Amino acid sequence: MPHIAGLRGVLPEASKVGEVVAAPIDLAKGLAAGTLTRDTSRAVYRYHAAFAGPGRQLIRKAFLCAVRLSPWKEGQIRPHETTTEAGKGAALASIKAQGAHTEAVFAGIRDSAGEVDRIFRSKESANPTLKVTTPDGVHHSLWRVSDAEVIGKLRNYLTPKKLHVLDGHATYEAMLAYQAELAAKQEPSNYSSANYGLFCIVPLDDQALVPAARHKVVRGAAGKRDEILASAKKYFIVDKLAGAAGDLGKMMSALGDTVAHQPAFVAVFAGDADAYKLTLAPDISPVHEGAAVDRALAKMDPVVADYLFVQKLLPGAQITTDTDAKKALAAGGDVTLIMRPLSITQIAHVDELNQTLPPDSTSIYPPLAPGLVSFLIDPDEDLQ
């Protein structure tokens, strides 16, 4: 794994944290107004997100730090999704406007021994530096940890490990692009902050690491519903879910009843009261239909939906995604695809095979609280 380091994070002032996470971040304005402050010394940040899981409260335990940037091809930081130019461009524009990384790349490590939790345990007995509850009911707690011994233990433990990106692929590629732009102006020193990115790292073994689906909103779809569904029957078993277009529970129940672990998703067409469950036909393989993917990935829902439905049946359509199914259904698309999440095991398996899924296939719940830690990029500031 690339070198990790502490950073002088930009954090909300404790009494203003709710205000900061609820609004788009503007570092220059926030620092001038005093709603944001920059730490005077380098630190890593222990981060808990407590939320309601199935039948019990879950606490996802992670930490934020600076990670030395490394191209995908070096294999130390591993992607499981491709990106779009639009997504990377938007992320790069934000980094350049702020002169900082305001969104962390969310990544996992293998830590079955629970060593990261042990390293931080003594620090969690103190009161958090920041606490906030976001509108989704998630309780976020952050501890500033400037102890050089803790940072050293983390660095030594993580050195032989790989980082598996879970969310933020476009953000990471934008970080690499910004690093290259700065280097073209003036080559930074080895440990310059320009060579690092803001990461939130979580053990892949954490039982509170919950995958989330990204539902697809399709605009610019050519063809009418009946034409699209008729063509879909070449690849899918199509089941009509009568009156289900406004009943998310019914859609999810139908997906839960899918037999033999076959890939499946639900399509909702604009203006239609019904929904349609599409299950991959048993005799159909995306590989045999021309999909350039490893056979181990060929029957993952995002691959099937992207290649056999969107690309084959809706060529040229524009796709956006949302982790909130209700928002996706209300977004005004010609067609909305309600998806199931992949498991963390499946996600990690993709990158371990050196494969990638289509853009915006997966996400993690709950999302990181916006604005808790930002990382100012100054080529003249070293992190060593």
Q: pLDDT for 120-162, tens place per residue?
A: 999 999 999 999 999 999 999 999 999 999 999 999 999 999 9
Nearest to 6 by CA among 155, 179, 175, 171: 155
Q: What tens digit of pLDDT does each residue of 316-357 get?
A: 999 999 999 999 999 999 999 999 999 999 999 999 999 999
- Mean of pLDDT over the chain: 96
Tell me which residue range forms the domain holding 268: 215-338
How many CB atoms are located within 10 Å of the residue 240 CB?
11
Q: What is the pLDDT, as a whole number, of residue 222?
A: 85
Taking 90 as the threshold, does the pLDDT of residue 181 lie above it?
yes
Q: What tens digit of pLDDT does each residue of 287-306 get?
A: 999 998 999 999 999 999 99
| pLDDT over 70 percentage in the chain | 100
Nearest to 181 by CA among 286, 112, 96: 96
Contact 289, 235 (CB under 8 A): yes
Specify whether 165 is located in the same domain as 269: no
Helix axes 169-185, 85-98, angle to 10 degrees: 50
Amino acid identity of 168?
A: G
Domain assignment of residue 101, yes or no: yes
Report strand pairing: 163-167 vs 77-78: parallel
Specify whether 143 is located in the same domain as 119: yes
Domain assignment of residue 313, yes or no: yes
Specify whether 280 is located in the same domain as 312: yes
Specify whether 150 is located in the same domain as 116: yes
Taking 90 as the threshold, does the pLDDT of residue 285 lie above it?
yes
Specify whether 106 is located in the same domain as 219: no
Specify whether 206 is located in the same domain as 61: yes
How many Å apart are CA 340 and CA 139, to the nearest integer?
A: 25
Q: What is the mean pLDDT of residues 200-228?
A: 96
Contact 60, 49 (CB under 8 A): yes
How many Å apart are CA 157 and CA 126, to the nearest integer?
A: 24
Contact 170, 91 (CB under 8 A): yes
Write b or e for each residue in 293-329: b if 16 or more Cβ atoms lie within 10 A of its Cβ, otherwise e. beeebbbbbbbbbbbbbbebbbeebebebbbebeebb
Domain assignment of residue 232, yes or no: yes
Specify whether 235 is located in the same domain as 105: no
How many Å apart are CA 348 and CA 108, to the nearest integer?
A: 9
Extract the tokens encoding 314: 């809706």
Specify whether 139 is located in the same domain as 10: yes
Around 302, how many Cα atoms within 13 Å sit in the side-chain half-sphere?
Answer: 27
Specify whether 25 is located in the same domain as 172: yes
Domain assignment of residue 191, yes or no: yes
- How many domains, the chain? 2
Specify whether 109 is located in the same domain as 142: yes
Amino acid identity of 270?
A: A
How many Å apart are CA 159 and CA 170, to the nearest integer?
A: 24
Taking 80 as the threshold, does the pLDDT of residue 203 lie above it?
yes
Specify whether 139 is located in the same domain as 228: no
Domain assignment of residue 85, yes or no: yes
Contact 274, 243 (CB under 8 A): yes
Q: What tens digit of pLDDT does each residue of 35-47 get?
A: 999 999 999 999 9
Contact 173, 181 (CB under 8 A): no
How many Å apart are CA 178 and CA 100, to the nearest integer?
A: 10
How many Å apart are CA 193 and CA 41, to the nearest integer?
A: 14
Specify whether 29 is located in the same domain as 115: yes
How many Å apart are CA 4 and CA 381, to the nearest integer?
A: 15
